[in-house]
Amino acid sequence: MNTTIRMVYPFLPLIGRGMGVDLVTLSRALTLRSASGVFGPLLGTVADTRGRRTGMLLGLSLFTVGVGLMVFWSSYTSFVFMLVLSLLGVLTFLPSMQAYLGDRVPYRQRALALALTETSWSLSFIIGVPIIAFLIARGGWTAPFPFLLGAGVLAMAALLWMLPRDRSEDGSPAMPWQNLRKVLTHKPALAGIIMALTFSASNELVNLIFGVWLEDSFGVKIAALAAASMVIGVSELSGEVLVIGITDRMGKRRAIGIGLLLNSLVALGLPFLGTSMAGALVGLFFFYLTFEFTIVSSLPLMNEILPVARATMMAVFMSGTSVGRAFGDMLAVPLYGYGESTGVLSGIIVVVIGVVMFNAIALLALKVLSSSVQNLGARD
């Protein structure tokens, strides 16, 4: 699932040429994908009302249908549907899985547990995207989708086989609206959602344009873009390893704040490092490392904010990240294009200014959240 989400970014120009659409049209499709995340909380409540395993299976089903469309009907329209359904699948699966772990892992060890599962995100760039590049190079831009469809079917079978039924699958009364109301009227939850929205928007600004930036600056091709994706994947894996090693001991809120500050500093260095391909890759490495450290450190904190509606809380949090990415998708191309058109500021400089502004808002939201969660103070 993560590979499907991530494969779009490094190969965005190539996919656009394959479908005969320009970058602006593709950015609209990605904006629609991210905006569809507003439906994530409704789907995420399934895990609170019908069981964690049921929520995970629903997420995998949405994903499988989405990539299946591209196998049988390759067009821009089906591409948009694939983007939306695969994201909704992830936004249903992840909160269900995270709630399953939250039910079973003590808070003092939860950063370790959730960070271990988050390695699938970085490994999708280290392993998944190079496989996608291999398939595209030999079969064209649609070649990965049969592979992804088969992987989705196998994942559903493995989940049914390996994961036992949990107690909510006994048909207990569904109360999705009550759970959503609990989340949306809880001050720490709202602060966490705003934090998620803004730091995800800042990251998406770079996500959307890094492939274009590398092509414009250095004329890189498929193999080089795959290499860049592997560098980013290794950086994210490094961030997850850092979370495993220090976040539980450092404290979740402190780790998030440090991550946001370091991410902003690295972003400010991108225009200077980007004078060479090697420097650009070093900058991207540390940018994604600090972001991954920040977002993974936030997962155990948000997982404990509202235990009575844990899956719904995580679904709304993930939805916040998705809406934030929609803002980033809408702004990235105009900001980059504005910088390139001025002749004074490069596109990447204008994008970096946006990154720092969004991170500043995230820091303010973290401050509000920290002042509201006194009940976590002794453990965090």
Residue 129 has a pLDDT of: 85
Q: Are 126 and 7 in contact (CB under 8 A)?
A: no
Three-state DSSP class for residue 225: helix
Residue 253 CA to residue 50 CA, distance in Å, equals: 31
Give the whole-angstrom CA distance, residue 226 versus residue 2.
16
pLDDT at 171: 47
Residue 233 lies in a domain: yes
Q: What is the pLDDT of residue 281?
A: 85
3-state SS, residue 134: helix
| End-to-end C-alpha distance for the chain, whole angstroms | 31
Say if 380 falls within a structural domain. Answer: no
CATH code for the domain of 81:
1.20.1250.20
Burial of 275 (0-12, 13-18, 19+ CB in 10 A): exposed
Q: What is the structure's pLDDT at 191?
A: 93
- Predicted confidence at residue 329, as pLDDT, reads 83
Contact present, 240 and 113 (Cβ < 8 Å) = no
6 found inside a domain: yes
Reading the block at residue 293, the tokens are 């450290």
DSSP code per residue over 142-159: TTHHHHHHHHHHHHHHHH
Is 243 in contact with 121 (CB distance < 8 Å)? no
- Tell whether 237 is covered by a domain: yes
How many structural domains comprise the chain?
Answer: 1
Position 38 scores a pLDDT of: 80
Q: What is the pLDDT of residue 378?
A: 41
In a domain, 376, yes or no: no
CB 66 within 8 A of CB 81: yes
Residue 309 falls inside a structural domain: yes
* Predicted pLDDT of residue 175: 62
Q: Can you give the pLDDT at residue 86? A: 94
Which helix (H) or strand (E) covers residue 253, if one does? helix 252-273
- What pLDDT shows up at residue 17? 86
| pLDDT at residue number 130 | 86
| Domain range for 181 | 2-162+175-370
Q: Is 20 among the domain residues?
A: yes
**pLDDT of the residue at 114:** 93
Q: Nearest-CA neighbor of 284 among 374, 214, 220, 341?
A: 214
Per-residue confidence of the chain (380 residues) as pLDDT tens digits?
Answer: 999 998 887 787 788 888 888 878 888 888 888 888 788 888 878 888 888 899 999 999 999 999 999 999 888 899 999 999 999 999 899 999 999 998 889 988 899 999 999 999 888 888 888 899 899 989 888 999 999 999 999 999 999 999 887 765 444 444 667 778 888 888 899 999 999 999 999 999 998 887 777 777 666 666 666 667 678 788 989 999 999 999 999 999 999 999 999 999 999 998 888 778 888 889 989 999 999 999 999 999 998 888 888 888 998 998 888 889 888 988 988 888 877 777 656 778 889 999 999 999 999 999 998 877 655 544 56
Q: And the tokens for 292?
A: 């991954």
Q: DSSP letters along 66-111, please?
A: HHHHHHH--SHHHHHHHHHHHHHHHHHHHHHHHHHHHHHS-GGGHH
